[in-house]
Chain A
Amino acid sequence: MSTFVDDFPAEAKVVRSSMYNAFVALAIGALMGILQTLYRTDVFHFISAEQYYTVLTAHGVFMVISFTIWFLVGVFAWAVISSLDRGVEDLRFTWAWFGFMTVGTLLAAIAIFGGFMSDPPEVLGSELSADVLFTFYAPLEAHPFFYIGLVLFVVGTWLAGADWFRSYLAWRSENPGERIPLPTFMVLTTMIMWYIATLGVATSILVFLLPWSLGLVDTVNPTLTRTLFWFFGHPVVYFWLMPAYLLWYTLLPKLAGGRLFSDPLARVVFVLFLLLSTPVGIHHQYLDPGIAEGFKFIAMTNTMFLLLPSLLTAFTVVASIEHGARQRGGEGRLGWLKALPWKDPVFTGMIFAGLMFAAGGFSGMVNAGMNINYLVHNTLWVPGHFHLTVGTAVALTFMAASYWFIPQLTGKQLVGRSIALVQVVLWFVGMVFMTNAMHRTGMLGVPRRTAEPWYDGFEYAGNVAEHNFQIALGGTILTLSILLFFVVILLTLLRGSKGGVEGSSIPEPLSGPDHSPAVIDNLKLWAGIAIVLVIMAYTLPLASIVERGGLFGPDGMRSFPSGNPGFLEYTSLFVQMVIQNATEVIFR
């Protein structure tokens, strides 16, 4: 059995490079993470209160845009290439999307890190900074580089998706009538979801925020850009999660010593995610004025049904693992647990990630409970929730999977297996401390996204200091865990001996694809239904938001910080006139 790099050396290089980029983002994100943790728990202030928000922007963007999505493109490229068993159609195209994503990341990084300067320079007519957090709610305004960077990054992912569809179509013409291999099926359904979802953020940036930050239009409608953000912002959480699910469905059963329980159910799950991920974004806006309660209610019910594919996943994954354990000789009601390969950091890391996800699912149900949301919205409860989900279910799965991928992608054996095992356990422990205390302080009303959540006028009704200690302790353990992760990765890259790496093939599921009707593989059908659902969920809310606040917002809306008019202002005067006249003609 051969490794991925033996079979596809050129492609392995792209996958490897994507993952290295993810690791760089993870390192930066983790550094920011510990800085802000120590600051807001009042343990140590390495930064100023104003810089806190630059740090937080960097933490958010590098963790959940760069780290997760760079790793995702690596996993997806591997999944498509290995499951179709064919190289990419055109390697230059593959490197092109890689290039787009890289340039996009760099531009956004330059804008964000500009914020660390005490007096950021003027570039293109506005101050080089982007202290807007990863949600960039207008009328807080970032430097144009930030928005351009995000657009290039997203375009890169679109092209990556095109690359995989191209591979699929080429495979299809040579294999008419065959079922789509499961990993490819997962990638394609996820990418369709992604294309639909990113339309929201692309519209928000290209039509409103970028022209506004360049001074081409004067105002924006904050509810509109916010709604378009969350149109993308909820499905993006499933975008982070799907590569983890893909690994839980494919790699995990194999590591447990068995095979996936049910291929058909796995397909159903991914179809459900495609259909339900997008028409729910308004659940992030339960407490927004200007949006009717009815729309919020619809988003709430859709969200609850979105629990279904995750609950089904829990079943299939556990069943597959149990099957694996019994193949390895495990016996008894729970005794089979002992037969599992707990010493394997890849396996153990993923299992811990899955356990944490179950906990995250419960706090997620609370968030999603429309009227309960009043109690937790924007409190530290929410970061508590998503460090369980994206911060552990996704991030820990990715780190654990890296111990499997790096050997596959370099041909080198993993060095420091026991350090790796300690690393994944530390992550679990650190997160238990940090997220538990975050949830609890959140219940006391301690706000998220706040450098100094202590106030002159009142005291919280609880022992915040003790919880803060746990948050700081958890954060420190997590930082240690990240350091160990890099030790293992670097040792492997520098010292790993070539050869002897187990092959990357994934065993056939117990219940194969022929047990599901062929219609499940009809991607066009699912894409069509998904689009119809999105149109149904968003047409009326968007129309009402535009009717209330205007397409470009009320006249009295200003920008913050309102950058000095630069030379671009003059060059853009003409364009501005044209746009204004055009909007006048169209919308009056």
Chain B
Amino acid sequence: MQIHNYEKMWLVAALVLIVAIIATITYGTVGLGIAMVDDTEDTVDPGALEEEDGFDDPGVTQVGENEYDVHVIAYQFGYDPGDEVNGEIQIPEDSEVNFYVTSRDVIHSFSLVGTNVNTMVVPGEVAAITAEFDEPERYGIICNEYCGPQHHDMEGIVAVVPEEDFHLFTLEDVEAPDEVELGDDATFDVTVSSDHYDERTTTATFEAENETTGEEVEVEEELTFDGHDTAETTFTVDTDDFGTGDFDWTVTVEDEIESGSVAVLEELEEDE
């Protein structure tokens, strides 16, 4: 076969270019450790995510000193957590975050705008992607794969917050009565969980006030958690102190608040 000299030079130059590009990418993968989203995660059943580890209770969990796992479920048309309905994803500054994202319906993406956190989200598969966050900042999450008629409404937020504003305590539940008989104790059973990996303490604060009488109480209770854990405590109000009428209460754990009001009656009506 006859190949012109210029052709030969061009051919060699082209091959050098190709090999150089491949070498650069290989360096990025091996040298810099930019791993691709891959098949290391087990598959899940998109119709039964509530039974899948991590996706039964999606959100942020601390797994190491500066390391956090975030499980997210993408759906038509939002992210749980992340979007407005389910609340933004909060992580502390200077942390390493492992996102685990799956879909309960069609193919979406999970993309943090302006970063290289960008992955397809396929029902049945879990996309695992790790990123480091230094400074406090708010990143938009968007879906960049068409997923249905409201695709463009699919958005959320990953908020990187200052260390001191960050916690993983959740006020899971406050069991409170609606009404109590004068003279009985009103009891408030509070359940708090911690998604921190190590031993932590936090304070649950109970406040109650009868606006008519002006009577009020404030109690603080220290809660200790041993890793991923829940703690319970009970606050009690002696209704003799408060007298009849409604009183308002709030339970506060860090920035989580639950509140309600209780009616104190002379005599409880016997229904049923």
Contacts of A262 in B (CB 8 A): 3-4, 7
Q: Are A548 and B109 in contact (CB under 8 A)?
A: no
Interface status of A511 (Cβ within 8 A of chain B): yes
B residues contacting the other copy or chain, number (CB 8 A): 73
Given A450-B152, A555-B45, residue A307 in contact with residue B138 (CB < 8 A): no
When the two chains form their complex, are residues B124 and A549 in contact, meaning their CB atoms are under 8 A apart?
Answer: yes
**Stretch from A78-86, A311-319, A415-423 contacting the other chain:** A311-319
Q: Give the most central of B38, B88, B128, B138: most A CB within 10 Å.
A: B38
Interface stretch, picked from A104-112, A285-293, A471-479, A564-572, is A285-293
CA distance in complex: A347, B4 (Å): 26
B27 CB to nearest chain A CB (Å)? 10
Chain B residues with CB under 8 Å of A305's CB are 18
How many whole Å from A561's CB to the nearest CB in chain B?
Answer: 8
| C-alpha gap A180/B122 in the complex (Å) | 47
Q: Shortest distance in angstroms between A334's beta carbon and chain B's nearest beta carbon?
A: 16
With CB as the reference atom, state the residue of chain A lying closest to B46.
A556
Task: Report yes or no: A457 in contact with B145, Cβ–Cβ below 8 A.
Answer: no
How far does the Cβ of A563 sit from chain B's closest Cβ, in whole Å? 14
| A37–chain B nearest beta-carbon distance, Å | 15
Tell me whether B231 is interfacial, beta carbon within 8 Å: no
A-B contact count (CB 8 A): 228
Given contacts A222-B124, A553-B124, contact A307 B17 (CB under 8 A): yes
**Would you call A448 an interface residue if the criterion is a C-beta within 8 Å of the partner chain's C-beta atoms?**
yes
| Nearest-CB residue, chain B, relative to A294 | B38
B193 an interface residue at 8 Å Cβ cutoff? no
Contacts of A221 in B (CB 8 A): 124
**Provided the pairs A265-B7, A370-B25, A560-B148 are in contact, do residues A458 and B107 lie with their beta carbons within 8 angstroms?**
no
Known A-B contacts A308-B18, A457-B155; A292 and B124 likewise in contact (beta carbons under 8 Å): no
Given A226-B107, A301-B22, A460-B114; A290-B43 close (CB under 8 Å)? yes
CB distance from A381 to the nearest CB of B (A): 11
Q: Does A300 contact B (CB under 8 A)?
A: yes
User: Which one, B8-16, B222-230, B243-251, is touching chain A?
Assistant: B8-16
Q: Cβ of A456: which chain B residues have Cβ within 8 Å of it?
A: 84, 155
User: Is A341 an interface residue when CB atoms closer than 8 A count as contact?
Assistant: no
B35: A residues at CB distance < 8 A: 293
- Top 5 nearest A-B pairs (CB, nearest first) are A556-B47, A458-B140, A447-B144, A445-B113, A374-B116
Of the A-B pairs whose beta carbons lie under 8 Å apart in the complex, a sample of 20, sorted by A's number, is: A131-B149, A140-B106, A287-B118, A289-B121, A292-B39, A293-B38, A300-B22, A307-B14, A311-B10, A311-B17, A371-B28, A371-B34, A371-B36, A378-B118, A452-B153, A457-B138, A458-B140, A554-B46, A555-B45, A558-B46
